[in-house]
Amino acid sequence: MKLTVYTAPWCRDCHVAKRWLAQNNISYDEINIEETPGAAEEVIQRTGKRAIPQFVINGAWVQPYIPGEGFKYREMAELFGVSE
């Protein structure tokens, strides 16, 4: 599985997502939208919104959180095959 995570240093939900990935030993490539030219625009183009973090799993874009509610722990555990 190839996982890419679009993040920004100021994004609280991004920190939560990265902590969950680390706790579950899931490796990923990180794209910081603040440092990577065109990355923020790519998120908007692919998802239709300004929303990070975004997971790209084998080319499929997945939003791992619900705005205002937080990280989708159960759904991501199922998606990645890890126990909660």
pLDDT of res. 83: 84
Q: Which pTM value belongs to this model?
A: 0.94
CA dihedral 63, 1, 17, 42 (to 10 degrees): -50
Strand runs (DSSP E) across the chain, as ranges? 3-7, 29-32, 54-57, 60-62, 65-66, 70-71
| pLDDT tens digits, one per residue of 26-64 | 999 999 999 999 999 999 999 999 999 999 999 999 999
In the chain, % of residues over pLDDT 90 = 94
- CA-to-CA dists, residue 39 to 46, 54, 63, angstroms: 10, 11, 15
User: What span, in angstroms and rounded, lies between the C-alpha atoms of 23 and 42?
Assistant: 28
Please tell me the predicted confidence (pLDDT) of residue 14.
Answer: 97
Residue 84 pLDDT exceeds 80: no
